[in-house]
Structure 1
Amino acid sequence: MAKTQLPDAILVNRYIDGDENSLAILVERHQSKIYGYIYSKVSDRDLTEDIFQETFFKVIHTLKSKKYYNEEGKFLSWVLRIANNLIVDKFRNDKKMLMKRDTDEFSVFSSLTDNAPNIEKELIKNQVDIDLKKIIQKLPHDQKEVLMMRYYSDMSFKEIADITGVSVNTTLGRMRYAITNLRKVIEKNQIYLPS
């Protein structure tokens, strides 16, 4: 079996035993999900880079010291928990930091494209995007968190459950309530969402 196909647990053990290349494989394997998760929380590329690097500094320090790493859990979930703790620490230290996506570059509707765009469609899309962001921010924290991780970070429900420390069923329930609450607000306020 090629080294790049080895399970995370084996690569972690090899890294602990001194094989530096094993960590490089783990980073390459999971960097897009970790980076995406951090960015979904902080909405700033420079800050995302800083937290991403600090996350792996902590990973390296923990693995080299051979303590606090629990092999029962998945490597990715463990790293995402470290990243999440760093984000929370940063948020506590800087009350001005927004914990939401606020850029047009990664809009909810960025995947909706039209080969013949016009000003009216663009204005409608922008207004709907603004309205949807406001609605999402009004959801209870646990529902908003699951929704953001699922749709902005493209995480599985199992990964979300591991990070938030609840069961998969609880995670699924929170997502269901989030979508139900979004629909109620959209219907109540007669918000038009183009298909």
Structure 2
Amino acid sequence: MTSLTDEQLVEAYLNRGDERAFGLLVERHQERLFGYLMGMVRDRSIASDLFQETFLRAIQAMNARRGSYEQQGRWLAWVMRIARNAALDHLRSRKKWQDVSPGSDDEGPSFWDRLPDEAPDAASLLGRADLWEEVEAAIEQLPPEQREVVLMRHQSELTFREIAELTDVSINTALGRMRYALINLRKLMKPEWFTDEPASSPSRPAASQASSVS
């Protein structure tokens, strides 16, 4: 069953009530989802609660639409929207999130044309497992909307189109937020990080604190 696609696992859960299929979906994506939630709320206990809430909401939504549920894009993007809504509900309740309307990033040259030369260096460090704790600390200092797009792109591996749809902005705005995030990250990163050779190290910390929902 582990070789099945997300879509096939969803069908197995909806059509046959196979709870193992849903458990595999959770297991397959828990690190990405928990990493996103952890980056958003910056509290492991709260992130764990929101992780549980996300999959409970997903189960409820899928069961309510059993027989009429339709795949619209990737299942991960769909459940990421649920996770994002849960995180924003939490942040808004504590007045730690300010909605940002699409602005000047919608117009002008393309994202890559406007990106400063040093910004790609910052992007390359996002994949450095040996520096992940340091990079993660830098990401936490970004403005919320910039932090979110970095987490969605590099933690959850969503496309910019999916990020734009999830955050209800244009693709150019999503790209613009990434642009400014990389610029700000470059300022926060230490010069020696760019000269050190990547060390052989394990992948990013897994979402061990995120209990699976079965």
The residue identity in structure 2 corresponding to 1:77 is A
Partner of 2:181: 178
* CA displacement at 1:16 relative to structure 2: 1.0
Aligned partners of 1:134 and 1:11: how far apart in 2?
A: 34
Query: Is the Cα contact below 8 Å between 1:157 and 1:168 reproduced in 2?
Result: no
Query: Is the Cα contact below 8 Å between 2:9 and 2:22 reproduced in 1?
Result: yes
Structure of higher RCO (CA pairs closer than 8 Å, 6+ residues apart) = 2
Superposition TM-score, scaled by structure 2 size: 0.60
SS at match of 1:146: helix
- RMSD across aligned C-alpha pairs, in angstroms? 3.6
Report sequence identity in percent.
41
Partner of 2:3: 5
Partner of 1:111: 130
The structure with the largest helix share of the pair is 1
SS at match of 2:130: coil
* 2:136 maps to 1:136: no
Partner of 2:157: 155
* CA displacement at 1:144 relative to structure 2: 4.1
Query: Is the Cα contact below 8 Å between 1:63 and 1:69 reproduced in 2?
Result: yes
Partner of 1:104: none
Partner of 1:55: 54
Aligned partners of 2:38 and 2:180: how far apart in 1?
A: 24
The residue identity in structure 1 corresponding to 2:130 is S
* CA displacement at 1:33 relative to structure 2: 0.4
Structure 1 stretches lacking a partner, 5+ long: 98-107, 114-125
Aligned partners of 1:44 and 1:59: how far apart in 2?
A: 22
Superposition TM-score, scaled by structure 1 size: 0.65
Distance 1:14-1:192 versus aligned 2 partners, 3 A rule: closer
**Per-residue deviation, residues 58-78 of structure 1 (Å, max 9, x unmatched):** 011111111695412211111
Aligned length: 160
* CA displacement at 1:14 relative to structure 2: 1.2
Partner of 1:75: 75
Query: Is the Cα contact below 8 Å between 2:58 and 2:79 reproduced in 1?
Result: yes
SS at match of 1:35: helix
Query: Is the Cα contact below 8 Å between 1:16 and 1:66 reproduced in 2?
Result: no
Q: Which has the larger radius of gyration?
A: 1
Aligned partners of 1:136 and 1:16: how far apart in 2?
A: 40
